Amino acid sequence: MSLPTGLPVRDDLVGKKPYGAPQLLDVVRLNVNENPHPPSAGLVAALEKAVGEAATTLNRYPDRDAVALRADLAAYLTRQTGVPLDVGQVWAANGSNEVLQQVLQAFGGPGRTALGFEPSYSMHPLLSAGTSTGWVAVQRPADFVLTVELAVAAVREHRPDVVFLTTPNNPTGTETTHDVVRAVHEATSGMVVVDEAYAEFSDLPSATTLLAELPRLVVSRTMSKAFAMAGTRLGYLAASADVVDALQLVRLPYHLSALTQAAARTALAHEAELLGTVEAVKAQRDRMVAEIERLGLTVVPTQANFLLFGPFGDPARTWQALLDEGVLVRDVSTGPGLAGWLRVNAGTVDETTAFLRALATVVA
């Protein structure tokens, strides 16, 4: 990519590169934490039908408030977490990236700061930069697990306006306990965002169960992972109705297309089928953990559909060697606190086998 030289681009963008992992098609792709199970023929037919119905009025703008979809998401969260939620407590956008961007537009922005515990989802600082929100990075301990003491001390020291927590945390797979969420909420007057993109793979209860007691809590979710709908780009959150009202002040009007709304509702109606893949994914993840450890490597304990493995003296070289064997994993080793580590997500049985064979070859 050429630099935008000669253009009046913002100073803080000069020399930056776009976010994104390589998108290669002719390899085993285990690098972006996708669910490896494609929609069934039945679901594809249902999606065709739903989109076909939506298409008959595609000349019209979509429901600006996506009420039917948000009601379906609220009903799903109520089923999944046991917490009664209604449409006014749920918000949706084009991926959790857009949801989190809207949270930062409403509660962050110029003169305000967001704080995260790194290593974590690398979009959190980028979304902060994109909304001109200051970013405070606090380093996790060597085992990547947040303690109440560390989290509270960081929040008291930096007094952020938005705190990002994550459970399970990407890219480490580690969980964050509700004790930490409660203590951080108590220690701050700002918003507390718990990013639960991978929640359905975890044994931990959802932070949604804390909404009634923590008024500044936001729990973000996505249909890209367990729901196997990464191509649909549907992220959402649960929060108080006041928070959702505030987000409507910054959302772009008609931000969710009629097609997205129809497809996401169809996927939610096929919850059993889609979430039925979760146990298979976890089984391959557990198989990966056992086999990687058998090769003499270390795996960070994970509650997600991916894991950190290593350490490698030259992780970039190992990444390339795996790619040469036809398997694409994520080189996260240049990230904060991640020296030596690579990340891989669970695939199908065959994809997992391909990865384990490639790794055995590369390590040997």
Who contacts 290 (Cβ-Cβ below 8 Å, separation ≥6)?
none
* Spatial distance between the Cα atoms of 210 and 196, rounded to a whole number of angstroms: 13
If one asks whether residue 186 binds its own copies (CB under 8 A), the answer comes out as no
Per CB under 8 A, which of residues 14..33 are in contact with its own copies?
16-20, 23, 29, 32
Joined together, the tokens standing for residue 336 give 């904060």
Alpha carbon distance 227, 264 (integer Å) = 10
Can you tell me which of 73, 90, 114, 123 binds its own copies, judged by CB under 8 A?
A: 123
Residues of this chain, 41-60, that bind its own copies according to CB under 8 A: 43-45, 47-49, 51-52, 54-60
Beta-bridge mates of residue 191:
162
Q: How far apart are CA 323 and CA 356, in angstroms?
A: 13
Q: Smallest distance, Å, CB 330 to its own copies?
A: 13
CB of 136 to its own copies, least distance (A): 16
Q: Which stretch binds its own copies (CB under 8 A): 147-155, 164-172, 259-267, 322-330?
A: 259-267
Write the interaction track for its own copies spanning residues 80-109; mark x where CB under 8 A is met and - where it is not. Answer: --------------xx-xx--x---xxxxx
Phi, psi for 209 (deg, rounded to 5): -65, -10
* Segment 304 to 363, residues that bind its own copies, using CB under 8 A: none
CB-based contacts of 90: which residues, under 8 Å, 6+ apart? 70, 71, 73, 74, 77, 236, 237, 238, 244
Q: Whole-number minimum distance, CB 92 to its own copies, in Å?
A: 13
Residues 216-255 that bind its own copies (CB under 8 A): 216, 224, 228-233, 240-243, 245-246, 248-255
CA 335 to chain CA centroid, Å, is 17
Choose, by CB under 8 A, the member of 1, 142, 272, 364 that binds its own copies: 1
Nearer to its own copies, 122 or 177 (CB): 122
